[in-house]
């Protein structure tokens, strides 16, 4: 399931909905991204996230489908917020549930790595020096490279 929204999300409620009634799940891996108050030596007052409606959801669905092809997932979830967010606020929730913990861990990491580099989101940071669009980071691109190799056996 994927959602792009302005509203905050309740982590506990979202995870409860994701796993409700599914007793095959043996592991649930979760990543929650938060707005930082610093970018290097610059204080961040807020961050505005923009997206391309329709295109963003389509790419997130493709990323989620790829994770479900690579790992035996029983459930997955991507929620990404847009709009103006302040330090400490939640930006993104990625969750992967599987019978086996390693599949859940790997799928969760894959989902956030690919989301960071493939999904069309733009970030505008507000600092004391003014607002600035955030460039893609080389470290995010490098993180996706390891997922280009063939997947390993997911059995425990």
Provide the residue ranges of all domains of the chain, joining segments of one domain with +.
2-148
Question: What does the pLDDT read at residue 56?
Answer: 96
State the pLDDT at residue 24: 95
pLDDT score of 11 more than 90: yes
- Collect all residues with Cβ–Cβ distance below 8 Å to 146 and sequence separation of at least 6: none
Say if residue 42's pLDDT is above 70.
yes
CATH number corresponding to 2-148: 3.90.1170.40
Considering the chain, what percentage of its residues have pLDDT values greater than 90?
A: 75
pTM: 0.87
Q: What is the CA angle 102-106-112, rounded to 5?
A: 150
Of 7-11, 39-43, 112-116, 152-156, the one with minimum mean pLDDT is: 152-156
- pLDDT value for 153: 46
């Amino acid at each position: 399931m994927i959602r792009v929204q302005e509203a905050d999300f309740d982590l506990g409620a979202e995870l409860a909905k994701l796993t409700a009634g599914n007793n095959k799940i043996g592991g649930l891996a979760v990543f929650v991204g938060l707005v930082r108050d610093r970018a290097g030596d610059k204080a961040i007052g807020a961050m505005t996230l923009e997206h391309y409606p329709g295109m963003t959801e389509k790419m997130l669905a493709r990323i989620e489908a790829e994770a479900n092809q690579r790992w035996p997932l029983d459930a997955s979830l991507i929620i990404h917020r847009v709009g103006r967010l302040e330090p400490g606020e939640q930006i993104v929730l990625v969750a992967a549930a599987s019978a086996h913990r390693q599949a859940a861990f790997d799928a969760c990491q894959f989902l956030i790595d690919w989301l960071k580099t493939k999904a069309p989101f733009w970030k505008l940071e507000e600092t004391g020096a003014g607002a600035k669009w955030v460039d893609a980071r080389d470290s995010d691109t490098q993180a996706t490279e390891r997922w280009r190799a063939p997947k390993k056996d997911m059995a425990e």
